Structure formats: structure tokens, C-alpha cells
Copies of this chain bind each other. A is one copy, B any other.
Amino acid sequence: MAAKRTGEKYEAIIDAAVRVIAQFGYHQAQVSKIAREAKVADGTIYLYFKNKDDVLISLFNEKMGAFISDVERALSAVPSPEDQLKELVRLHFEYLEGDHELAIVTQIELRQSNPEVRRQIGLIVKKYYDVIDQLLRSGIEKGSFAEDFDVRTARYMIFGTIDETVTSWIMNDCKYSLMGQVEPILRLFLKGISR
């Protein structure tokens, strides 16, 4: 009854969901299509997930969770707040550029999902917000960043800019490299929040 949260089928289903949603779009990603792509029966999905929403939420949770861990690990290895910010932007772009399907799914398709899924996604993204906020606060403490800006406002800028940049990149069919945007964006950020 309770859904298993591991196993190779668990992962197969999540990966199938990413592929199907990326290829057909959120509104054409039926459970049966995901099951077929994962080479399992429709009913099998309900052995590993509570319902379709749970597949989508788990998908986001797995992918975003791994990303956030990577970011946290990377930031802890970098002492300077400026370099930390650069690392965050770089990793964000690298992660999505390395998996176009995932980029499409998390950036475009999953945003059309129903209220419950978006609520859960919001809770997960919240952790990423915390990472950014922490980075900013630490930078202010260390004297790298100015004290005259509101952390939350700066986080809106950082996340909003990154998000808009990625969305725009996808809308343009990922036909240029995101990595080239790291430096320009960073320059704007640092000028904006530096002393």
C-alpha cells in the first residue's frame, strides 16, 4: 500500500516521466504513456508512487534535491562570497545545460501542473532560496557585499535573473551555450551588491 521510494523501477519511472514530459509536454504526459516509456504496467506506477502528482513531485524532489546538495557542497569548498556566487550561477547553468530534457521539464512544463504539485515544488525551491540567502548573508558578514541591500530583494534578483535566463534559453531551443552567460550576469550581480 505504502509507496516504495526506491528500487530501479522507481528511478525508471521518474526518468521515463522526464523523457515523456519533455517530449510531449505536460498536458500530453499521461500515466499510461509514462508507464510504457518506463516499460512497466500502468498499475506498477502505483506501487512506487501514491498517485500521478506524487510522480511529478518526486521527480522534482530527486532532481532538485541532488542539485541543491551539489551546490551546497561546491559552495563550502569556495571561501570567497564572490566566487561562491559565481559557482552557484555556473552550477545552475551547467546542471540544466547538461540535461536539456530536465531543463524543459522543470523550467517550463512542470509550471503548468496543478496547485498541489506547484505547492510542493515551491517547498523544495524554498531550500534553494535558503542557500542563496545564506550565501548573501555570509557575504555581507564577511564584508564582501554591501550592507545597504535587503537580502530577500537581492535573492529575487539572483534567482529571478537566472530563472529568466534559462527560460529564455529554452524558448530559443537551447541553441546557444548557457555558460557564456555566467560572466555577464555575474558582473551585473556583483556591481549591484558589492560595496
Contacts and interface: CB of A to CB of B under 8 A. Distances in A.
A67 to B, nearest CB: 18
Copies in the complex: 4
A165 B184 contact: no
Interface string A63-88: 00000000000000000000000000
A175 interface: no
B111 A111 contact: yes
A151 to B, nearest CB: 10
- Identify the interface centre among A154, A156, A165: most chain B CB within 10 Å of its CB: A156
The binding surface of chain A is classed by DSSP as helix
Interface stretch (A2-10, A49-57, A95-103, A186-194): A186-194
How many chain A residues sit at the interface, stated as a range, is 35 or more
Contacts of A185: 153, 156-157
A161 interface: yes
Interface in A23-77: 25, 27, 32
Interchain residue pairs A-B with the least CB separation, the first 8: A160-B164, A160-B160, A192-B192, A188-B192, A160-B161, A157-B161, A156-B164, A153-B184
Interface of A: 1, 25, 27, 32, 111-115, 118, 122, 148-150, 152-154, 156-157, 159-165, 168, 171, 181, 184-185, 187-189, 191-194
